[in-house]
Amino acid sequence: MNITIENSFVKDAKKLSKEVQADLQTEIFKIENCSDLSQLKFKKMVGFKNAIRVRFGNYRIGIVIENDTLKLTRVGKRGDIYKAFP
C-alpha cells in the first residue's frame, strides 16, 4: 500500500505541539507498516466515499483512499478536522 503526504497535512502537523507531533509520528509509522486497512483502527467519514479517519487521543488524521494509495490529507483536533477536511 502506497502512502502520500499532502502539503496541507504537513502544515497542520507543524502547528501541533511537540508531544502531539511525537504521537503523530507513531501513528504514521503504524500506517506505513500495516499491510491491510483492517490492521488500523479507522472509521469511514460520513459524506465521503473514499475517506477514513484514524484517531489518536483527541486528534484525527484524515485519509483519502485512491486506488492503492493512502493520501494523508489533514490532521487536527477532534472538532476541527471535520471543518477543514478534505
Structural domains for the chain: 2-84 (3.30.2310.20)
Residue 86 reports pLDDT greater than 80: no
Where does the chain have alpha helices with state H? 7-14, 18-33, 81-84
Distance CA 15, CA 46 (A): 26
CB-CB contact of 76 with 11 (8 Å): no
Residue 16: count other Cβ atoms within 10 Å of its Cβ: 16
Distance CA 66, CA 13 (A): 22
pLDDT in tens, 63-77: 999 988 999 999 999
pTM: 0.89
